Amino acid sequence: MKIAGIDEAGKGPVIGPMCIAGVMADEAGINALKNLGVKDSKKIAPKKRKQLAGQIKKYIDDFYIFEISPQQIDELRKIMTMNVITVTGFSRVLENLHPDKVFLDAADVNADRFGRHVKDAYSRKYPEAAKQLTVISEHKADDVYPVVAAASILAKVRRDELVDDMRKEIGIDFGSGYPSDPKTKQFLLDWAKEHGSLPDIVRHSWKTAENVMNSL
């Protein structure tokens, strides 16, 4: 049986992309992941995450990471909510892996609804495969299922790489990129005052970004 886990990194930040990773493994691979000690990426230091990402890839059958840029998020939010964007991203990962069973780290307050929506989106392109697919959607699935924890790590490592590239490109450390980070907020304010706009690495549709622009 082909078993997959899917998780995202970067749904909430005002800066940078959202990365949705899927990992697929058989039972032996999942046991190997368990022995590696994989867990929720947020509970692992960045250096350790990167090491684990390399080890994870040795024991799994396949993986896929779907990246959604800040500009794409802004465009999509004109016609759909962030939850729908996330559902679409999870479905896109499924379309590249085609597992028999998938565990999702639910990105919606209603975990069952999130699972149904992801399966419905998948079934629109692959109706026969969707009929055979078992979907288990839970909150904090990355704490329970090693295959989801592995996906969580790959998603976070990839997002960190992309965000590091953005920092180098603009030559400024803007912090974590999350709206609650004072360093991020100060960066947005300083940049907007100097340039009269915000850079492409920012999600302009975020309330934080709108508030900064309205404050000028």
Q: Which residue has the higher pLDDT, 44 or 169?
A: 169
Statement: residue 40 has pLDDT above 90: no
Write the pLDDT tens digit of every residue in 113-141: 999 999 999 999 999 999 999 999 999 99
Statement: residue 38 has pLDDT above 70: yes
The rounded Cα 30 to chain-centroid distance in angstroms is 21
What would the mean pLDDT of 148-158 be, rounded to a whole number? 96
φ and ψ at 204, to 5 degrees? -65, -20
Mean pLDDT of the chain: 96
Q: Which two tokens stand for residue 96?
A: 């590249």
Q: How far apart are CA 158 and CA 55, in angstroms?
A: 15
161-176 exposure pattern, b = at least 16 Cβ within 10 A, e = fewer = ebbeebbeeeeeebbe
Q: How far apart are CA 39 and CA 18, in angstroms?
A: 20
What would the mean pLDDT of 137-162 be, rounded to a whole number? 96
What would the mean pLDDT of 90-100 be, rounded to a whole number? 98
Q: Position 96: which residue type?
A: N
pTM of the full predicted structure? 0.95
- Cβ atoms 7, 148 nearer than 8 A: yes
**In the chain, how many H helices and how many E strands?**
9, 5
Statement: residue 41 has pLDDT above 80: no
How far is residue 145 from each of residues 31, 93, 158, measured CA to CA in Å? 11, 18, 20
Statement: residue 72 has pLDDT above 70: yes
pLDDT over 90 for what percent of the chain? 94
Q: Which two tokens stand for residue 28?
A: 């032996």
On the 0-12 / 13-18 / 19+ scale of CB atoms within 10 A, 188 is buried
The rounded Cα 166 to chain-centroid distance in angstroms is 17
For each of the domains in the chain, give its residue range(s) and CATH number, in order of start. 3-165 (3.30.420.10), 169-214 (1.10.10.460)
- Cβ atoms 143, 134 nearer than 8 A: no
Q: Position 51: which residue type?
A: Q
Sheet holding 18-25, edge to edge: 62-68, 18-25, 3-9, 101-105, 134-138
Statement: residue 46 has pLDDT above 90: no
pLDDT for the residue 43 = 78
What would the mean pLDDT of 16-30 be, rounded to a whole number? 97
Statement: residue 62 has pLDDT above 90: yes
